[in-house]
């Protein structure tokens, strides 16, 4: 469930058209570097989720509701908004950070999900499942995005479907948080 | 670089928007600290409220009170009267000396409002025609607590008579008629969300006192129906948190032998725990200020009390390995006892947290000083719980019962 939630909140098809890098090696470097950066951030956040939730006065089931709400919001956006555009990038390898990691890979959905998953699964398992999601996303980002009108439409439709999946997964997460003790 | 700055500003806006939605969905939860000593004080103050608000002649308690206006609120009803007696005898059984004496004053009202059934074999608490089943059921529960607290068996025959009437309200499927007609013992087709749990509890109390009279099978039939059919058959949506059924389940642990609870019942218990748990979490997010807009004012004290009762009872059920952790099939069971009962899937630490939180909120919200409502009768407010300036006797009943059940789970 957490791996699926991570994939749909990152939404590889939404960020694919905006992935930085002109050549395949450049794209791969940015995608891999961005994914690694985000993975480190997610592990750090999930590792700190216990103290963070204590400070906020929120327990694990309620954090799941929060993650569900974030996924629903992000998923709804992905259903109606256009794909990511080619972003202004930092020079050289730093493009993996901006826009590779932020804003493409690491958004509020993944951030809140990392906190919730950290409380439920621990940092190691959260890192593992989010790592899988980031690897899938990086593999997509490393490919040249479709340039044809039809190809772009297919990707756009895929983005919307993934957004719809995020809404459903978010609702399931929220329901799980509600009905947990 | 300015393009990057603008983009990052856009990212910040996106984060803020999503976090705003999350902030509406969940709020910080505040659970006041609660220890056994504080719970004990609150329990004694609540018993004191009943002692100060019972009429010796009629046996009635003060039903409701508007502390802002300084006026009484009428609407007296029999199920709530029986519920109050139940909580007071419960308090006596928990060691609050004098609580049973206060409740015994309320038996005057009971004796004046009890009718025999037409065949003379049963009895109904309430008007002869159209009495709510819950009143008789809760009276049995109260008398059961009385017997436990005082050892007095003088009302055993009454309990059995009420029990015979209650048996007539249970259908073959395990549904419960919500209204009793003393002439024919039941009114077909009436249902109530809570009467079913109340009757299950009453029959569970009666079973060890009067074995072999059919109480066991009827109680189990009700439990099976509750767990598998009720919500669909009675169009109960959303699912109800049933504190009275939780009392029934806990009482079944005292049967000899206890029933083996099948997978459907265990799943139902897990869902009940979730329902009680989320209510505690939601209530603890109500902290005044802006949360009044997003969460509303605090819940009725009686409502929070029922949540505490449910958690306290189910904590006992979860810990009762003979109920949830054994494998035994019973010939008289209406349940499909399976061969491997793995227990209840619940996070024990989270359950303990919710119980402490519920107790903490209840203790904090009790009126300890009449100065809080200067225009009110001090006897009507001290030891009571109010919502928007109004209290009803079942607010004290459920909060009292909840604190009694939760106290053993609090820090000494």
Domains, in order of start, for chain B: 29-409 (1.50.10.10)
Look at residue B342 and tell me whether its pLDDT is greater than 70.
Answer: no
Q: Which residue has the higher pLDDT, B333 or B163?
A: B163
SS3 state at B6: helix
Number of alpha carbons in the 13 Å side-chain half-sphere of residue B77: 12
> Look-up: residue for tokens 């904590």?
B315
Question: Which residues touch B206 (CB under 8 Å, ≥6 apart)?
Answer: B140, B144, B159, B160, B163, B213, B215
| Rounded mean pLDDT, B82-92 | 98
- The tally of domains found in chain A comes to 1
Whether the per-residue pLDDT at B338 is higher than 90: the answer is no
pLDDT at B345: 83
- Give A157-171 pLDDT, tens digit per residue: 999 999 999 999 999
CA atoms of B189 and B318, how far apart (whole Å): 34
CA B357 to chain centre: 17
Interface probe for A, chosen from B7, B9, B10, B26 (most Cβ of A below 10 Å), is B26
Question: A14: Cβ–Cβ under 8 A, 6 or more apart, which residues?
Answer: A78, A81, A83, A84, A159, A162, A163
DSSP B299: P
Angle between helices A24-47 and A49-56 (to 10 degrees): 60
Distance from CA of B189 to the nearest CA of A (A): 31
Out of B7, B10, B26, name the one closest to residue A62 (CB). Answer: B26
Query: Are B367 and B386 within 8 A, CB to CB?
Result: yes
Q: Do A108 and B271 touch (CB under 8 A)?
A: no
The angle subtended at Cα A101 by Cα A96 and Cα A103, nearest 5°, is 120
Does the beta-carbon distance from B350 to A60 stay under 8 Å?
yes
Q: Is the pLDDT of residue B34 over 60?
A: yes
Q: What is the pLDDT of residue B184?
A: 67
The larger pLDDT score, comparing residue B344 to residue B358, is at B358
- Contact flag B28-A57 (C-beta cutoff 8 Å): yes
Least CB-CB distance to B18: which of A61, A109, A179? A109
Cis? peptide before A99, omega within 30° of 0: yes
Provide, as residue numbers in chain B, all residues whose Cβ is less than 8 Å from the Cβ of A72.
21
Q: Report the alpha-carbon distance of residue B71 to residue B56 in Å, rounded.
A: 20
Q: Are A181 and B276 in contact (CB under 8 A)?
A: yes
Q: What is the pLDDT of residue B329?
A: 38
Chain segment A71-125, per-residue pLDDT in tens:
999 999 999 998 888 888 888 889 889 998 999 999 999 999 999 999 999 999 9
Backbone angles phi, psi at B232, to 5 degrees: -75, -50
Question: For residues B321 and B318, what is the distance between their CA atoms, to the nearest angstrom?
Answer: 7
Alpha carbon of A44: minimum distance to chain B alpha carbons (Å)? 19
B341 pLDDT above the threshold of 50? no
Among B186-190, B214-218, B332-336, the least confident range: B332-336
Residue B330 is predicted with a pLDDT of 37
- B76: tokens are 């007296």
Distances (CA, A) of A7 to A11, A13, A69, B40: 6, 10, 16, 51
* Window A:137-176, CB contacts with B under 8 Å: 174
Q: Is the pLDDT of residue B165 over 90?
A: yes
**Closest among A179, A42, A55, A11 to A116, alpha carbons compared:** A42
Q: Which domain holds residue A158?
A: 2-180
Per-residue pLDDT band at B186 (split at 50, 70, 90): low
Give the contacts of A30 (CB within 8 A, at least 6 positions apart). A19, A20, A21, A95, A96, A100, A141
A99 touches chain B (CB under 8 A): yes
By Cβ distance, the residue of A66, A72, A102 closest to B26 is: A66
Which of the 8 DSSP states describes residue A102?
Answer: I
Is A61 close to B281, i.e. CB distance below 8 A? yes
pLDDT at B326 (0 to 100): 42
User: Is residue B213 predicted with pLDDT exceeding 90?
Assistant: yes
d(CA B382, CA B313) in angstroms, rounded, equals: 27
Which residue has better confidence, B198 or B329?
B198
Are B325 and B341 a contacting pair, CB within 8 Å?
yes
Q: Residue B79: what are its φ and ψ, rounded to 5°? A: -60, -40
pLDDT in tens, A22-37: 788 888 899 999 999 9
Task: Give the DSSP per-residue string, B105-160.
Answer: HHHHHHHHTEEE-TTSS-EEES-SSSEEHHHHHHHHHHHHHHHHHH---TTHHHHH
User: What pLDDT sits at residue B340?
Assistant: 42
B254-304: pLDDT as tens digits: 998 889 888 999 999 999 999 999 999 999 999 888 899 999 999 999 999
As a whole number, mean pLDDT of residues B139-153 equals 98
pLDDT of residue B343: 77
Split at pLDDT 50, 70, 90, the class of B16 is very high
Give the model's pLDDT for residue B8: 84
Nearest CA in chain B to A55: B28
Assess A50–B contact: CB distance below 8 Å, yes or no: no
Section B47-60 average pLDDT: 98
**ipTM score for this prediction:** 0.89
In this predicted structure, what is the pLDDT of residue B201? 98
Cα–Cα distances in angstroms (integers) from residue B3 to residues A26, A87, A155, B12, B45, in the given order: 21, 9, 26, 14, 66
Residues of B in Cβ contact (< 8 Å) with A174: 25
The predicted pLDDT at position B261 comes to 87
Q: CA-CA distance, B7 to A99, in Å (whole number)?
A: 9
pLDDT reported for residue B269: 95
pLDDT band at residue B150 using 50, 70 and 90 as cut-offs: very high
Burial of residue B200, with CB atoms counted within 10 A of its CB: 0-12 exposed, 13-18 middle, 19 or more buried: buried
More confident call, B337 vs A146? A146
| pLDDT at position B331 over 80 | no
Task: Please tell me what DSSP assigns to residue A18.
Answer: G
Mean of pLDDT values over B377-400: 97
Q: Is A81 on the interface with B (CB under 8 A)?
A: no
Has residue B237 got a pLDDT over 70? Answer: yes
Structure tokens given for B97: 């000396």
Q: What is the pLDDT of residue A119?
A: 96
CA dist., res. B4 & res. B213, Å (int): 81
pLDDT class of B334 with cuts at 50, 70, 90? very low
Predicted structure pTM score: 0.89
| Per-residue pLDDT at A5 exceeds 60 | yes
CB B14 to CB A107 under 8 A? yes
- As a whole-number percent, the residues of chain B with pLDDT over 90 amount to 81
Contact B14 A62 (CB under 8 A): no
Average pLDDT along chain B: 92
Strands B179-180 and B131-132, bridge-based pairing = antiparallel
Distance CA B278, CA B233 (A): 25
Give CA separation, A42 vs A55, A56, A107, A121, A134, in Å: 19, 19, 11, 13, 11
Closest CA to B234 of B246, B222, B217: B222
Residue B316 pLDDT > 70, yes or no?
Answer: yes
Mean pLDDT of A137-144: 90
Closest listed residue to residue B34, CA positions, set B368, B388, B372, B365: B365
The predicted pLDDT at position B152 comes to: 97
């Amino acid at each position: 469930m957490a791996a699926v939630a991570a994939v749909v909140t990152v939404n590889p098809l939404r960020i694919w058209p905006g992935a930085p890098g002109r050549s395949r090696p450049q794209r791969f470097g940015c995608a891999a570097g961005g994914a690694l950066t985000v993975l480190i951030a997610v592990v750090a956040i999930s590792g700190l989720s216990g103290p963070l939730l204590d400070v906020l006065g929120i327990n694990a089931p309620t954090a799941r509701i929060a993650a569900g709400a974030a996924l629903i919001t992000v998923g709804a956006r992905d259903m109606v908004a256009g794909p990511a555009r080619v972003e202004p990038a930092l020079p050289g390898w730093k493009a993996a950070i901006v826009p590779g990691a932020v804003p493409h890979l690491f958004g509020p959905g993944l951030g809140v999900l990392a906190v919730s998953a950290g409380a439920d699964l621990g940092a190691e398992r959260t890192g593992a499942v989010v790592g899988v999601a980031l690897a899938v996303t990086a593999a997509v980002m490393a490919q040249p995005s479709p340039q044809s009108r039809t190809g772009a439409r297919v990707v756009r439709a895929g983005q919307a479907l993934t957004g719809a999946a995020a809404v459903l997964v978010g609702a399931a997460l929220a329901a799980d948080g509600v009905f947990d003790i | 670089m300015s393009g990057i700055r603008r983009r990052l500003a856009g990212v910040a806006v996106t984060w803020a928007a999503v976090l705003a939605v999350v902030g509406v969905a969940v709020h910080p939860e505040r659970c006041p600290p609660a220890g056994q000593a504080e719970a004990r004080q609150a329990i004694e103050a609540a018993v004191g409220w009943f002692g100060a608000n019972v009429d010796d002649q009629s046996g009635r308690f003060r039903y409701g009170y508007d502390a802002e206006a300084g006026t009484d609120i009428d609407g007296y009803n029999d199920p709530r009267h029986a519920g109050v007696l139940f909580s007071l005898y419960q308090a006596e059984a928990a060691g609050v000396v004098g609580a049973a004496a206060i409740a015994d004053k309320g038996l005057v009202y009971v004796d004046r409002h009890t009718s025999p059934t037409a065949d003379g074999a049963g009895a109904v608490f309430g008007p002869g025609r159209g009495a709510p089943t819950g009143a008789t059921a809760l009276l049995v529960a109260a008398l059961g607590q009385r017997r436990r607290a005082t050892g007095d068996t003088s009302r055993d025959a009454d309990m059995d008579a009420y029990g015979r009437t209650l048996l007539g309200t249970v259908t073959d499927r395990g549904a419960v008629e919500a209204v009793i007609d003393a002439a024919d013992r039941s009114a077909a087709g009436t249902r109530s969300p809570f009467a079913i749990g109340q009757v299950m509890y009453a029959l569970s109390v009666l079973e060890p006192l009067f074995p072999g009279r059919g109480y066991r099978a009827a109680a189990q039939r009700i439990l099976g129906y509750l767990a598998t059919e009720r919500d669909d058959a009675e169009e109960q949506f959303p699912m109800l948190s049933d504190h009275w059924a939780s009392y029934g389940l806990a009482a079944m642990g005292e049967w000899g032998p206890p029933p083996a609870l099948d997978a459907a019942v265990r799943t139902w218990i897990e869902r009940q725990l979730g329902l009680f748990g989320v209510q505690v979490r939601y209530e603890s997010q109500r902290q005044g200020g802006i949360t009044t807009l997003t969460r509303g004012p605090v819940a009725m004290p009686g409502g929070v009390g029922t949540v505490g009762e449910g958690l306290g009872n189910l904590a006992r059920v979860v810990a009762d390995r003979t109920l949830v952790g054994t494998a035994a099939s019973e010939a008289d069971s209406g349940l499909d006892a399976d061969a491997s009962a793995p227990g209840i899937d619940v996070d024990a630490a989270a359950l303990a947290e919710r119980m402490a939180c519920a107790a903490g909120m209840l203790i904090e919200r009790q009126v300890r000083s009449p100065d809080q409502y200067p225009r009110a009768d001090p006897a009507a407010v001290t030891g009571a719980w109010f919502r928007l300036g109004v209290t009803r006797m079942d607010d004290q009943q459920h909060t009292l019962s909840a604190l009694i059940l939760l106290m053993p789970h609090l820090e000494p």
